[in-house]
Amino acid sequence: MLAVDIEHSSGRGNAPLLEIREALFTALRESVVRSEIDWETCLRDDLGDGIRMIPPAGTRKSHLIHPLIHELAVRLEAHNRTPDPSTRIRVRVALHAGDVFLGPGGEVAGQPLEILARMLDAPPTRKALARAPRTVPVSVLISQHFYDETVRHGYPGIDPDTFQKVTFTEKNYTADAWLHLPNYSLAPQVKPPDVTASDQPPARSKTVNRASGNGTIYAAHNGNQNIYTDGRS
């Protein structure tokens, strides 16, 4: 299942909002078709400033990443060349998988949809899109389950190295997920240095050698050498 939300959709006025909604839905529909997914049989819910989509049974999960996400980014980049900034579009995307229940009227329900909603609002996705250049139109968050079944296998068009693991909390829900910005390299995560024996200062040791004649020589590694002559010169 996939959900999309438009960044900063409020406050633009009705006319720009209607235009960007239409542009997003068109871009998503074309991207779905290019991904060999039947748009007409997808279950779709209008979220006001976005859309939630559940593809038909048998859809390959990997196709929701590639080529779908790539195609969506390309189309939004093309749309954003418009001179009117009020109609430019940047979106957050969430991808998850799980069992849902289909009602008699075509409505769907189930906990996976709740998780999808939390992922769509997750802070890492918002922050990554806000920090990226304005030319980057898409930020994607993929659940651990979805990642395990798609990204980590390195299917054609999917590079696992372009996904960054994050942990997020949204409305008392905490989980690991994977962040991805198409055609944009995320800053590498800073890991604390490993503390190994080689990082520790060398232990100070002392050896005692007997010298014939004038006294005893005490030699300390990494230190000074002192010679005691037992009072004799």
Statement to judge: residues 215 and 130 lie in one domain: no
Question: Does residue 216 lie in a domain region?
Answer: yes
Domain presence at residue 139: yes
Residues 55 and 160 in one domain: yes
The per-residue pLDDT for 218 is 46
146 and 210 fall within a common domain: no
Describe the strand order of the beta sheet including 206-211 as a list of residue ranges: 206-211, 215-220, 225-228
* Residues 154 and 215 grouped into a single domain: no
For the record, the structure tokens of 21 come out as: 């909604």
- Mark whether 168 and 117 lie in a shared domain: yes
Question: Do residues 99 and 145 touch, judged by C-beta distance below 8 A?
Answer: no
Is 134 within the bounds of a domain?
yes
Task: Quickly list DSSP for 137-193.
Answer: -EEEEEEHHHHHHTGGGT-TT--GGG-EEEEEEETTEEEEEEEE-TT-PPPPPPPPP
User: What tokens appear for 120 in the block?
Assistant: 């769509």
Q: Which residue carries 């997920």 as its tokens?
A: 177
Kindly state whether residue 59 falls inside one of the protein's structural domains: yes
Task: Judge if 171 and 85 occupy the same domain.
Answer: yes
pLDDT of residue 107: 86
Name every residue whose Cβ is closer than 8 Å to that of residue 4 and which is 6 or more positions away in sequence: 24, 28, 47, 50, 51, 52, 53, 91, 92, 93, 120
Domain identity same for 221 and 112 = no
The pLDDT, as a whole number, for residue 192 is 47
- Tell me what pLDDT residue 12 has: 87
CA-nearest of 220, 199, 150, 210 to 178 is 150
Q: CA-to-CA distance for 17 and 83, rounded, in angstroms?
A: 16
Check residue 30 and give its pLDDT: 98
Q: Examine the domain organization and report whether 100 and 208 are in the same domain.
A: no
**Does one domain contain both 155 and 94?**
yes
Q: Are residues 152 and 216 both part of a single domain?
A: no
Placement of tokens 């997020």 in the chain: 168
What residues of the chain score a pLDDT lower than 70? 187-233
34 domain-assigned: yes
8 A C-beta contact, residue 64 and residue 36 = no
How far apart CA 85 and CA 172 sit, in angstroms, is 35
- The answer on 115 and 69 residing in a single domain is yes
Residue with tokens 């390299």: 185
Query: Cα separation of 179 and 113, whole Å?
Result: 19
pLDDT at 233: 43
Q: How far apart are the first and last CA of the chain?
A: 91
**What pLDDT is attached to residue 168?**
97
- What pLDDT is attached to residue 214? 52
Q: Are residues 99 and 213 in the same domain?
A: no
Helices 68-79 and 14-34: crossing angle in degrees, nearest 10, is 140
Contact criterion met (CB below 8 Å) for 146 and 94: no
Find out whether the peptide bond into 202 is cis, omega within 30 degrees of 0: no
Domain with 139, as residue range(s), is 2-180
Domain count, the chain: 2
Q: What CATH number did the domain enclosing 91 receive?
A: 3.30.70.1230
